Chains A and B, each alone.
Chain A
Amino acid sequence: MKGDLVAGVEVHADRDVCIGAGLCVLTAGAVFDQDDDGIVVVLDEHPADVVAARDAVANCPSGALSLTEE
Chain B
Amino acid sequence: MTAPPTLPVHMQRNGFDPVPVLAELRDGKGIERIRTAFGMQAWLVTRFADVREVLSDPVRFSNARLQEAGRPPGLPPVTPEERARQLAGNLLAADPPDHTRLRRMLTPEFTVRRMRRLEPRIREIVHEHLDAMERHGPPADLLAEFALPVPSLVICELLGVPYADRAAFQERTHRQLDLRVPMEDRLEAGKESRAYMAELVARAQAEPGEDMLGMLVREHGHDLTADELAGIASLLLIAGHETTANMLGLGTLALLRHPAQLAIVRDEPDRVDSAVEELLRWLTIVHTGTAKMATVDTEIARQPIAAGDLVMCALPTANRDPELRTDPDRLDVTRGGVGHVAFGHGVHHCLGAPLARMEMKIGFPALLQRFPGLAEVPGTATFRSFSIIYGLTSLQVTW
Contacts and interface: CB of A to CB of B under 8 A. Distances in A.
Interface residues of A, number: 19
Contact of B110 (A20, A27, A36, A59): A20
B338 A26 contact: yes
Contact of B112 (A26, A39, A59): A26
A59 B339 contact: yes
A30 to B, nearest CB: 13
Contact of A20 (B103, B344, B345): B103
Interface residues of B, number: 22
Contacts of A21: 349, 351, 353
- Tell me if A's interface is mostly helix, strand, loop or mixed: loop
A62 B339 contact: no
A39 B339 contact: no
A28 B347 CA distance: 20
B116 to A, nearest CB: 11
Contact of A27 (B338, B345, B351, B354): B338
Contact of A36 (B108, B338, B349, B353): B108
Nearest to A63: B56
A23 B131 CA distance: 33
A55 B337 CA distance: 10
Most buried by B among A19, A34, A58, A59: A19
A18 B339 CA distance: 17
A38 B107 contact: yes
A38 B108 contact: yes
Contacts of A70: none
Given A34-B112, A61-B349, A62-B347, A20 B107 contact: yes
Contacts of A37: 104, 107-108
Nearest to A62: B347
B2 interface: no
A8 interface: no
A61 B108 contact: no
B338 A19 contact: no
Contacts of A23: 338, 349, 353
Most buried by B among A20, A23, A26, A55: A20
Most buried by B among A38, A62, A63: A38
Contacts of A63: 56, 346
B111 interface: yes
Interface string B80-117: 00000000000000000000100110011011110000
A39 B345 CA distance: 17
A61 B343 CA distance: 10
A32 to B, nearest CB: 10
Given A61-B345, A62-B349, A20 B338 contact: no
A13 interface: no
B209 to A, nearest CB: 20
A55 B347 CA distance: 18
Contact of B113 (A34, A61, A62): A34
A25 interface: yes
Contacts of A26: 112, 338
B112 to A, nearest CB: 5
A22 B339 contact: no
Contacts of B337: 55
A22 B103 contact: no
B104 A61 contact: no
Given A37-B104, A59-B338, A20 B346 contact: no
A62 B111 contact: no
Contacts of B56: 61, 63
A36 B111 CA distance: 8
Contacts of A61: 56, 343-347, 349
Given A19-B100, A55-B338, A61-B346, 4 more contacts: A23-B353, A25-B112, A26-B112, A34-B113
Give 8 closest A-B pairs by Cβ, nearest first: A38-B107, A20-B107, A61-B349, A22-B112, A25-B112, A38-B111, A34-B111, A21-B349
Interface of A: 19-23, 25-27, 34, 36-39, 55, 58-59, 61-63
